[in-house]
Each structure stands twice: as structure tokens, then as C-alpha cells.
Amino acid sequence: MPCYNAEVHLQEAINSVLQQTYADWELIIIDDGSNDGSREIIDKNVRRDDRISAMASLGNEGAAMARNRGLEAARGQYIAFLDSDDFWDRGKLSMQVSYMAERSVGFTFTAYQSVDESGNMRKVIRVPETITYHALLRNTIIGCLTVLLDRHVVGDVRMPKLKSRQDTATWLGILKQGHVAHGIPVTSAFYRSTSGSLSSNKWKMLRANWRMYREAMSLPVWYATYCMIGYMMNATKKRIF
């Protein structure tokens, strides 16, 4: 869990992990140079439960670097992601671990719901049954907060050093190896959408996608353009563009 000046929502995010029906988890919180009360909240929770540990970045390094610090420290078979202002349904981990064990799959994601700044529940983002590399290039449907990876299947992962879309670039890297991501049509996580977030600014999202296509995935201009058109069409269907 990367954390930067998240004192307002941090405890709610941590509580959603503490309340999981699946109890065999570890939570690694990476303080990415916070200068508010986040560190005090983190330390209180580390003392509260020995399944919670904390790390500190060397200043504000950004979400990708913070997540990579956590990935390097993680000891478990399964890897999940949660930002410090989002939260999970209490049955999320149990549901996904059971699904993956029963079907021997290494990558799952679920539906999720957006929450506005006042805490009101908004639209639910539905997910397809499966998604492949080329499909994900045109439809960035996978919510980072919903992903569960089995490292015994997909191997160790690290996020590329992009300012944004580093999570989608990570999923694409996994799928490019031939893996398939399996969507579970259950709303298991809640994404807080704020006025300054990337998802609230369609032009920033377009620029971020283009950089991901060209820099992280090294797509030729013609194919990046093709994927961008597909992305805009699918984003319109989701009512986020």
C-alpha cells in the first residue's frame, strides 16, 4: 500500500484489510514521503497487528517505486494491491484465492465501484470473463485495487517507472507472456475518485495511455493509434471518457 499524505482515508483503507475474512495476509505500507499525519496512523497500526509492516521511501518517489519496494519485501504466494484512499469488501481476498486455487489460474481481477469525495457510491465498473494482451491494449478495464496475482504462476513482477498507467503496463507485461487475466463479476473493491485524480481528467488519461503505448510497451505509432481509438470507444461505454 503506497501512502502519500493520505491521513483522511488511510485508516479506512487499512481497516478494510484488517476486516478480511481471509486472515493469512501481510500488509506492507510504504510511506512515500508524507508530511501530514499519515506516519502516525501507520505506526499505530503496525503496533496493533503484527501482520502489518511499514517501509519508507527516500522522499516522494511516486506510486510505482513505492509499490516496487513493497513487491520486493512481500513474502506471500499471492500479491494484491490497494491504494491508501481506496478500500476492499471484506470477502475480497477469500473469494479470489478460492477462485484461483479451484481453477489453477494466476491472474484475477474483479468488478469495482467508484466513490465520490463525499462517500457516495457511484458507477460500478463491470468486467469481462477474460482478457488477453491485445484486448487490454484497447480496453484498460483492470482496476489495480482488484487484482490478485499468484507469483507461483506469473512470477515476480515489478512496475515500470511511469508517472501514471504503471499498473496497466504491468498487467500488459504479464499478459504479453501468454497469461490470461480472469474477470470475476463481483464488486470487491471501491475506488475513490477525486477532482484531481487521473480518472477525472480525460485528457490526462489520453496522454498517459499514449505514453504507456509508446514508452512502456514500445508500440509502433500505427498500432498505438489503433489501440487509442479502441480505448476511447471502450472508455465511452464505461462513461468515464
User: Mind listing the pLDDT tens digit for each residue in 68-116?
Assistant: 999 999 999 999 999 999 999 999 999 999 999 999 999 999 999 999 8
The CATH number assigned to the domain holding 30 equals 3.90.550.10
Torsion of CA 218, 177, 67, 223, to 10 degrees: 30
3-state helix vs strand vs coil in the chain, percent to 5:
40, 20, 40
Q: pLDDT, tens digit, for every residue of 1-53?
A: 999 999 999 999 999 999 999 999 999 999 999 999 999 999 999 999 999 99
The pLDDT, as a whole number, for residue 225 is: 96
Q: Which of 164, 191, 231, 206 is nearest to 109 (CA)?
A: 191
- Cβ atoms of 101 and 23 within 8 Å: the answer is no
Number of domains in the chain: 1
Q: What digits encode the pLDDT tens for the residues 150-199?
A: 999 999 999 998 888 999 999 999 999 999 999 999 999 999 987 655 55
Whether 240 shows a pLDDT value over 70: the answer reads no
Query: In this predicted structure, what is the pLDDT of residue 164?
Result: 86
Range of the domain at 119: 2-237
Greater confidence, 27 or 120?
27
- Model pLDDT for residues 202-237, shown as the tens digit of each residue: 788 899 999 999 999 999 999 999 999 999 998 877
